[in-house]
Amino acid sequence: MLAAACALMCITAGAAKKSNVITSPDGKLSVELRLGKGSLSYSVSREGKLVYTMSDICVTLADKSVPSAAVKLVGVKHVSDSFSPVVPLKFSTVKEDYNEATISLGAEGTLLLRVMNDAVAYRVVLKEKGDIEVMDDQFRLTPAEGFTAHYQTAPDNFNTSYEESYKAGSLQEWGAAERRMATIPLLLSQDADDTQLLIGESDVDDYPRQFFTTDGTAIVPTYPLAPVTWEPRGDRSEKITEEGPGIAHTTGARALPWRWVAVTDSKGIIEQTVPVQLARRCALDDVSWIKPGQVSWEWWNGATPYDPDVTFRAGCNYETYCYFADFAAKFGIRYILLDEGWAKSTRDPFEGNDDLRLPELIKYCNDKGVKIILWLPWLAVEKNLDTIFETYESWGITAVKIDFMDHADQWMVNFYKRVTKEAAKHHIIVDWHGAFSPAGLEYEYPNLVSYEGVLGLEQMGGCKPENTVFLPFIRNAVGAADFTPGGMNNMQPQQYSARRPNSGAMGTRCFQMALYVVLESGVQMLADVPTRYYQNEDCTRFIASVPTTWDETRALEAKAGEYVVVAKRKGNKWFIGGITNDNARDFQLKLDFLGAGEHKMTAYKDGVNADYQAMHYNKVQQTVTSATTVDIHMERNGGWAAVIE
């Protein structure tokens, strides 16, 4: 919406006077800079082939544009390092290897351009002093010919829960047919040589989140304006009553967010660690209390267990949650979630409903070695931020799920940080729902263990495998995604018919089991009712054994939006998960990543009838070594899961 102003104020790349080339440390990516007076652009090539250009880079302030003076390359440095994230979703040790150029934008600031082996990123560092008004923050990303865009649309008013299904098409088709914004992240795929461009941002602080539009040729960002005043609308929403003139009212002499594009293939998208490398390092001195883990969740099936020995009235009450706690304790699940209905009022986060007997329930769970997560609408948190986490800490509550933000403006970005930081003071972990995608806060404050903002299993018949298979390549590729997998009532899309309390999941049984390995989240839900897990105990024991953090990740087979098979290691155990779209697949998996000696592999594979009866699976066991090749078959909308120990 503000792109035109920036385009008028910034000289385009055509006026460039100087050319420089910066390569990645492994030599596969090269970036050619074009620098001139008030002009900065660059083109990116992968193994000598142009993949995209980035032009018209410009930050518009209230009284000037940056850059406006001569743009010059100051120098290039090489960095090689490693560090360990507190909540490792892919690797317990993340390696950094990049060449970083410092580019002078004159007296107004600098631009840092980082060329990694699998990505290119830049950020503008402003030198302005005092308060500033950022009116716009623009670039123009033009992909080479032959790329297909995979994108999630958003309303024109920026109010979104990020739960739309992905769409695909050329930029021309997107621009002509949709005329709607897209959310971040966004994927561009070129099938001819499997080149993938994943567009994201990191270290977004005191700043709005990006959205995208297209004119049919290039992708340009757009942003919600900074709210000045707002008022509650109901118990979980807001109405913005006045907006500022720009996208951010902030302090000068600061670094703006990283704008990055991963440039790799489908396997590389699965293995890349670009977001964590660009994020701030942990701000907490003591992280020993941060405990990721699995969660038994009651909402999906309406908290209605139906075992023969259930003699209590099911619901948001003491007896039902004790039943969930017993299940969690039996299978070693760390948490149970008390979703909407636990409180007497959604506006009062301090009083449980009359049937809950919350102090007794907390004691019962603690005695079982199970912790409680409380669901909260975000407005209740905002109105009680001074006392809510201190109170919960005194109760023995260790985690919260905060829901329905549905905005991504500067105020809301700051709200996430205020809340997460305050929760950390009281040793409480946070799972954001109705949320935008991760952008670095989860590494600065690692008590933020997951975000929802994803088309997950709670959408019942709207959650189709053909969309889910995109998640590892787009939304989950930038950070934790609370998808809530684990449905045991499995159906192929053509046979789907389910509703609460007998909720159903599309895809085969093995598809659901494999999701625990494929998807990344610091808290991973078991969405179904314990009754069904008891009835399918063999599957449940596998699911409950899958870690939520990992030491190593390897993509074995992958094609963006079609299939993925990934192996992940925790200690001396390897887990393998594979999922596919509506096409059946066969693969030969080499297990050359295993250590020396013999290993026991227990695998769950789609049964011969799973293409129609999606609950059909077979369990097989065999001895394997690093020389073994395993033949696997996944039926349509199917999966394959295994543990090797």
Q: How far is CA 280 from CA 130, 320, 561, in A?
A: 23, 41, 30
Helix (H, G, I), strand (E, B) or coil at 318: helix
Helix (H, G, I), strand (E, B) or coil at 327: helix
Query: What is the per-residue pLDDT for 504?
Result: 97
Quick one: pLDDT band at residue 538, thresholds 50, 70, 90? very high
Backbone angles phi and psi of 613, in degrees to 5: -100, 95
DSSP character at residue 26: T
Q: What angle do CA 15, 16, 20 make, to 5 degrees?
A: 170
Query: What is the per-residue pLDDT for 5?
Result: 37
Which residue from 428, 487, 482, 480 is spatially nearest to 461, judged by alpha carbons?
A: 487
How do 585-590 and 573-580 pair as beta strands? Answer: unpaired
Q: How far is CA 190 from CA 144, 145, 318, in A?
A: 9, 9, 54
Residue at token pair 């590494």? 443
What domains lie within the chain, and their CATH numbers? 3-278 (2.70.98.10), 290-453 (3.20.20.70), 483-645 (3.20.20.70)
Per-residue model confidence as pLDDT tens digits over 422-463: 999 999 999 999 999 999 999 999 999 999 999 999 999 999
Q: In whole numbers, what is the pLDDT of the chain averaged over residues?
A: 95
Mean pLDDT of 288-307: 96
Mean pLDDT of 176-205: 93
Residues with Cβ within 8 Å of 338's Cβ and at least 6 positions away in sequence, in order, are 298, 316, 321, 356, 372, 373, 374, 375
DSSP letter string over 579-601?
A: EE-SS-EEEEEE-TTS-SS-EEE
The single-letter code of the amino acid at 253 is A
Q: For the chain, give me the number of helices (H) and strands (E)?
A: 14, 41
The single-letter code of the amino acid at 494 is Q
Query: What is the per-residue pLDDT for 176?
Result: 84
C-alpha–C-alpha distance, residues 396 and 378, integer Å: 21
Residue at token pair 């390549």? 473
Query: What is the per-residue pLDDT for 9?
Result: 39
C-alpha–C-alpha distance, residues 261 and 274, integer Å: 9
DSSP letter string over 471-490?
A: GGGTTGGGS--------SSE
How many CB atoms are located within 10 Å of the residue 369 CB? Answer: 12
Per-residue model confidence as pLDDT tens digits over 387-428: 999 999 999 999 999 999 999 999 999 999 999 999 999 999
Query: What is the per-residue pLDDT for 608?
Result: 98
Per-residue model confidence as pLDDT tens digits over 330-362: 999 999 999 999 999 999 999 999 999 999 999
Give kind and range of the element (H or E) at residue 517.
Answer: helix 509-518
Handedness of CA 619, 622, 625, 629 (dihedral sign): negative
As a dihedral over the C-alpha atoms of residue 501, residue 507, residue 512, residue 514, rounded to 10 degrees, the angle is 180
Quick one: pLDDT band at residue 180, thresholds 50, 70, 90? confident
pLDDT over 70 at 466, yes or no: yes
C-alpha–C-alpha distance, residues 486 and 466, integer Å: 17
